[in-house]
Homo-oligomer: A and B are copies of this chain.
Amino acid sequence: MRILVMNPNATRSMTDKIVASARTVASPGTEIVAATGTPPAPPSIQGHHDEAMSVPGLIARLRQAEAEGLDGVVVACFDDPGIGACREVFSGPVLGICEAAVKAASMLSTSFSVVTTLPRSVPVIEHLVHGYGLSHRLRRVRSAAIPVLALEEEGSGAREKVRAEILRAVEEDRCEAVVLGCAGMADLTEWLTEETGVPVIDGVTVATRMVEALVACGLKTSKVGAYAPPIA
């Protein structure tokens, strides 16, 4: 089985980290194919504009993946950009990491908070969770007030800020689990789980194995309605 894990932004170091995380959880027989966005996709996706600029490149890469016969796709950005379009151009399962993570959180707890990077992502994520039907399980979307790319820099203090925000979430929101609201946090999961005592859920790993699950069960995206191939 071959699964495309695509980082839709244009920062290659982030892709490396994401794909490394995906590979730690993939089953032996699963090949993880890496992909990174190219400009006009921005170096990080922080808001609707950035998201929109990343989607055409994402679609192009998925068309290629379809031609290559890949089995499934993970879109590794927590804003779940372009998922509907991706599902139109690809036959196998396509999963965003926000959808995967919050659905996993709801299987392991009765309530969760999300910790993301900048405040501007908060309403975007709230809207996604509303669409996924899990608003009643979501305690709060919190920002650790760090730019996405600070997670790539040694010594930025970003990790510690994420940890501190998770601890605040557990204390103040009375949540039972915490979802990491950025693909760039994928490598912190184990450390954060140990530090905080609650399940800390990273969308990259969960989405990788969930796509694997759907493929293994012989499931594909429905083509009889909203996700039918583009007409033109």
For the complex, what is the distance from the CA of A27 to the CA of B47, rounded to whole Å?
34
Across the interface, do B52 and A122 meet the contact criterion of CB distance under 8 Å? no
Contacts of A150 in B (CB 8 A): none
A59 at the interface (CB under 8 A from B): yes
A122, A147, A205, A217 pick with most chain B CB within 10 angstroms: A217
Across the interface, do B25 and A28 meet the contact criterion of CB distance under 8 Å? no
**Chain A interface size range:** 35 or more
Across the interface, do B48 and A87 meet the contact criterion of CB distance under 8 Å? yes
A121's nearest neighbour on chain B, judged by CB, is B226
How far is the CB of A117 from the nearest CB of chain B, in Å? 11
Across the interface, do A93 and B108 meet the contact criterion of CB distance under 8 Å? yes
A30's nearest neighbour on chain B, judged by CB, is B27
Across the interface, do A226 and B120 meet the contact criterion of CB distance under 8 Å? yes
Q: What are the 6 tightest A-B residue pairs by CB atom distance, in nearest-first order?
A: A133-B133, A48-B84, A209-B213, A123-B226, A176-B225, A109-B222
